[in-house]
């Protein structure tokens, strides 16, 4: 009953709350209503060859919280051919009525899947050849080139033991966990992760979030505890009432090994949180990478970089810990982008049903204001929201919003049909002036056909200049939502190659100036929900055919400017090497 009453209180608070934020940006110059929405999503996963389901817990009921959270996906170019490949994570399942994992017939064990892009709209399953077959409760993936060999490596977190996969460059990965010093004897629940060069030495360090401490053997059954009932219906217990864990930070020693600096850096000092997705970028504009962590049912964390190898959690002071009125929210996914075109990185954080996503507008100087209701996002609050992005779907120069949905209690919809197990991929179009419009119903079958989704990776898998989505679905094959954009707006995608910075440019901020407007993007190792997006920064140019200026704020601190760049192509910007003797 406690959970039921608490939920009712939440509803009361939301109902009484006043979500108002004035967005001090120039309105979009439009005399009439917005033009037709030219974006149609079509799910091409099956025809593209993305066949395998991601097994994740029970189908009709989730008895334990480990079955509910699902996992992420990645769009990344593992073979360096200029085409995005697809990684989809998987969990496993418990035996009927048991607390032990199901025994699968040999060869049919659920596994993470890597699909190589055939460059013709289809993919080939290369999981075996890549050495990525593994069965377990996978959570999240983050990518980065931690050994600066020009090839993207992977880190995958688990309920169990996390794995570092080093890209050998021959189409395969090796499990480098033990050699890197990242192995552990005790099983923990890894959630978000991010490669981040927090000390700006040119090598990617590793941040790993922990969701909570969970003991399957002693976990209560649904309904058997104060936090095991939702709206009067018995459901799996938690996260409230379950013990929290602390997050980890590992320093890249440069010899293939990492050193645990969780305590020394202050990362482990932040306690009492259910940490989920992590995104590492320069959120306060001081040219040093910070780490933002969406936290479930507790205050979210902003690890602000102190420039000396340590971090301080400034989320509360910065205005990104809570909702607009200071209440903790069930933070799960997050997106970064510049929805108001002021050149600063804003944040979107997704939440549970009966709540709306938080849209944190970056005011500069490390301060944010919550703007979700004022932005028009309050019109939908029935869905549990997960993977999210701020892509410019129609290339008009304004970042739109997308989040995927799916309830964590499949059994609920039998009693409360207004909380469906499967939900849409919600699309909000940016109207300018800080306002968004729900255009889900006009975004094609890929958006409206319901699924219980979790991770979502954003990127241009067919290299046609618009942003597509790869979505992890619970107990289903993934969705590959091809964006069939029907307009004529220009675009550009910026690929970074670091030299003073890490090779992949992870952690960089790219600002494009077009027609006097600035648009900022970050190059992230993880975002959305437990997922990894295309590392190429995509910009819509509207009617323009070129970019006036591209400014790259490299993770090394170096600022690089490139002017008059033609659009409708992928451009590569290489960071100049440090002058001899400069360091």
> If you search the block for the tokens 């709306």, which residue do you land on?
356
φ/ψ of 127, rounded to 5, equals -55, -50
Measured CA distances, 123 to 115, 153, 191 (Å): 6, 20, 28
Residue 231 as a binder of other proteins (CB under 8 A): the answer is: yes
Residue 436 as a binder of other proteins (CB under 8 A): the answer is: no
Question: CB of 424: closest distance to other proteins in angstroms?
Answer: 16
Residues whose CB falls within 8 Å of the CB of residue 318, separated by 6 or more in sequence, listed in order: 284, 302, 304, 366, 367, 368
Among 25, 42, 129, 363, binds other proteins (CB under 8 A): 363
Residue 316 as a binder of other proteins (CB under 8 A): the answer is: yes
Site for other proteins, residues 42 to 101, rule: CB under 8 A: none
Site for other proteins, residues 453 to 492, rule: CB under 8 A: none
Residue 28 as a binder of other proteins (CB under 8 A): the answer is: no
CB of 522 within 8 A of CB of 564?
Answer: no
Residue 580 as a binder of other proteins (CB under 8 A): the answer is: no
Residue 257 as a binder of other proteins (CB under 8 A): the answer is: no
H or E stretch covering 276: strand 275-281
Residue 406 as a binder of other proteins (CB under 8 A): the answer is: no
Q: Which stretch binds other proteins (CB under 8 A): 355-363, 461-469, 537-545, 553-561?
A: 355-363
Q: For residues 354 and 419, give the distance between their C-alpha atoms in angstroms, rounded to a whole number.
A: 9
What is the signed CA dihedral for 348, 204, 318, 264, rounded to 10 degrees?
140
Three-class secondary structure assignment of 472-509:
EEECECCEEEEECCCCCCEEEEEEEECCCCCCCCCCCE
Among 4, 118, 184, 545, binds other proteins (CB under 8 A): 4
Question: CB of 581: closest distance to other proteins in angstroms?
Answer: 40
Q: Which two tokens stand for residue 415?
A: 């009693």
Question: CB of 431: closest distance to other proteins in angstroms?
Answer: 13
Site string for other proteins, 534-573 (x = CB under 8 A): ----------------------------------------
Residue 364 as a binder of other proteins (CB under 8 A): the answer is: no
Question: CB of 220: closest distance to other proteins in angstroms?
Answer: 9
Q: Which of 475, 59, 3, 56 lies closest to 234, judged by CA? A: 3
Question: CB of 95: closest distance to other proteins in angstroms?
Answer: 22
φ/ψ of 335, rounded to 5, equals -135, 155
Q: For residues 474 and 528, give the distance between their C-alpha atoms in angstroms, rounded to a whole number.
A: 16
Q: Please tell me the total number of residues recorded for the chain in this structure.
A: 583
CB of 262 within 8 A of CB of 268?
Answer: yes
131 or 220: CB nearest other proteins:
220
Residue 582 as a binder of other proteins (CB under 8 A): the answer is: no
Residue 25 as a binder of other proteins (CB under 8 A): the answer is: no
Question: CB of 224: closest distance to other proteins in angstroms?
Answer: 5
Three-class secondary structure assignment of 366-407:
CEEEECCCCCCHHHCCCCCEEEEECCCCCCCCCCCEEEEEEC
Among 39, 87, 156, 233, binds other proteins (CB under 8 A): 233
Which positions touch other proteins (CB under 8 A)? 1, 4-22, 222-224, 228-229, 231-234, 239-240, 296-297, 299, 316-317, 319, 322-323, 325-330, 351-352, 354-356, 363, 367, 369, 373-374, 378-381, 384, 408, 415-416, 418
């Amino acid at each position: 009953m406690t959970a039921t009453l608490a939920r009712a209180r939440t509803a009361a608070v939301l109902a009484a709350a006043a979500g108002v934020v004035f967005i001090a940006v120039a309105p979009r110059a439009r005399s009439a209503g917005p033009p037709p929405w030219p974006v149609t999503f079509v799910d091409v996963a099956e025809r593209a060859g993305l066949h395998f389901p991601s097994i994740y817990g029970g189908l009709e009921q989730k008895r334990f919280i480990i079955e509910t959270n699902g996992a992420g996906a990645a769009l990344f170019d593992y073979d360096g051919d200029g085409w995005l490949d697809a990684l989809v994570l998987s969990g496993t399942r418990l035996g009927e009525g048991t607390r032990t994992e199901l025994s699968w017939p040999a060869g049919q064990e659920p596994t993470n899947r890597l699909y190589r892009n055939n460059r013709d709209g289809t993919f080939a399953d290369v999981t075996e050849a890549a050495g990525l077959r593994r069965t377990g409760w996978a959570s999240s993936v983050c990518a980065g080139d931690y050994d600066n060999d020009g090839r993207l490596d992977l880190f995958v977190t688990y309920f169990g033991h996390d794995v570092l996969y080093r890209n050998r460059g021959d189409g395969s990965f090796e499990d480098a966990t033990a050699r890197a010093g990242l192995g552990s004897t005790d099983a923990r629940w890894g959630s978000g992760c991010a490669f981040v060069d927090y000390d700006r030495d040119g090598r990617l360090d590793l941040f790993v979030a922990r969701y909570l401490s969970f003991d399957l053997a002693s976990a209560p059954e649904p309904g058997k505890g104060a936090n095991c009932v939702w709206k009067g219906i018995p459901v799996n217990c938690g996260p409230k009432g379950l013990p929290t864990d602390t997050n980890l930070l590992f320093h890249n020693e440069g010899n293939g090994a990492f050193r645990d600096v969780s305590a020394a850096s202050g990362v482990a000092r932040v306690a009492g949180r259910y940490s989920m997705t992590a995104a590492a970028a320069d959120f306060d504009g001081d040219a040093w990478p910070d780490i933002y962590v969406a936290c479930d049912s507790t205050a979210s964390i902003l690890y602000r970089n102190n420039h000396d190898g340590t971090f301080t959690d400034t989320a509360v002071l910065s205005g990104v810990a809570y909702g607009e009125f200071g209440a903790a929210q069930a933070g799960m996914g997050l997106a970064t982008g510049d929805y108001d075109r002021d050149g600063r990185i804003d944040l979107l954080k997704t939440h549970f049903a009966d709540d709306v996503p938080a849209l944190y507008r970056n005011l500069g100087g490390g301060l944010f204001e919550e703007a979700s209701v004022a932005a028009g996002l309050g019109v939908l609050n029935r869905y549990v929201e997960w993977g999210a992005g701020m892509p410019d779907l129609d290339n008009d120069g304004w970042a739109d919003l997308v989040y995927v949905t799916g309830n964590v209690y499949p059994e609920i919809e039998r009693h409360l049909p207004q909380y469906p197990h499967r939900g849409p991929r919600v699309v909000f179009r940016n109207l300018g002036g800080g306002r968004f419009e729900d255009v889900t119903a006009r975004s094609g079958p890929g958006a409206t056909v319901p699924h219980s989704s979790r991770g979502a990776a954003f990127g241009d898998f067919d290299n046609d200049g618009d942003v597509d989505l790869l979505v992890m679905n619970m107990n289903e094959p993934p969705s590959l939502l091809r964006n069939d954009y029907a307009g004529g707006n220009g675009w550009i995608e910026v690929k970074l190659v670091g030299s003073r910075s890490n090779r992949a440019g992870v952690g960089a901020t790219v600002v494009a100036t077009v027609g006097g407007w600035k648009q900022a993007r970050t190059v992230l190792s993880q975002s959305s929900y437990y997922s990894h997006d295309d590392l190429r920064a995509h910009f819509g140019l509207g009617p323009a055919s070129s970019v006036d200026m591209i400014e790259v704020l490299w993770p090394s601190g170096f600022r690089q400017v490139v002017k008059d760049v033609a659009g409708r192509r992928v451009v590569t910007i290489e960071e100049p090497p440090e002058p001899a003797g400069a360091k």
